[in-house]
Amino acid sequence: MSRIGKMPITVPAGVEVIIDGNTVTAKGPKGELTRTFSDILTIEQQEQTITVTRPDDSRLAKSQHGLTRTLIANMVEGVDKGYSKKLQLVGVGYRAALKGSDLEMQLGYSHPILVKAVEGITFEVPTQTEIVISGPSKEQVGQVAADVRAWRKPEPYKGKGIRYEGEQIRRKLGKAAKGD
């Protein structure tokens, strides 16, 4: 049996979860998230806990059990506390700024890069070389962060580019250091 799938999800105060068949809606201080899950599993709520159960030990039911429980737990945590990812810009002249709610970056191209704010996602720029992407959906925050990072992935020779906070870049020596 799935160890993750068996664990109950506790709903914190201030978060409302509505289960309608296989559609789960979570409302909280950070926003509202709705997701439809597989109808193989049973999602039940007793007071402040949510449990996900599977009817049998079929391969499909096993594979969906832990995933469904984790997605619901992420929804509940997202509308309660929210998620955020921090990016760092490393390179001469690389900088970011807010333009309204959109993100404008100078990344060594001949033109500035403008990233439109997606609904539910907010950008913050504490310094010119740091970007904080936050929102209630863990999946959406991660995708927007990956899209921003894709504009200039860190390169291995000088380490320039956009990297996640704490990300280690494996550096290469280059031609000059390789000598005989």
Total-model pTM: 0.88
Q: How many CB atoms lie within 10 A of CB 145?
A: 22
- Whole-number pLDDT of residue 178: 65
Spatial distance between the Cα atoms of 30 and 44, rounded to a whole number of angstroms: 24
- Whole-number pLDDT of residue 175: 84
- Whole-number pLDDT of residue 155: 92
The closest alpha carbon to 94, from 154, 145, 173, 169, belongs to: 154
Mean pLDDT per 10-residue section of the chain, whose length is 180 residues: 82 93 93 93 92 90 92 95 95 94 94 94 95 96 96 93 93 77
Residues 25 and 34: beta-carbon distance below 8 Å:
yes
The bridge status of strand 122-124 relative to strand 130-135 is antiparallel
Is residue 129 packed enough to be buried (19+ CB in 10 Å), middle (13-18) or exposed (0-12)?
middle
- Whole-number pLDDT of residue 4: 86
Dihedral sign for Cα atoms in the order 62, 146, 101, 97: positive
- Whole-number pLDDT of residue 174: 84
Give, as one character, the DSSP assignment of residue 38. Answer: -
- Whole-number pLDDT of residue 6: 87
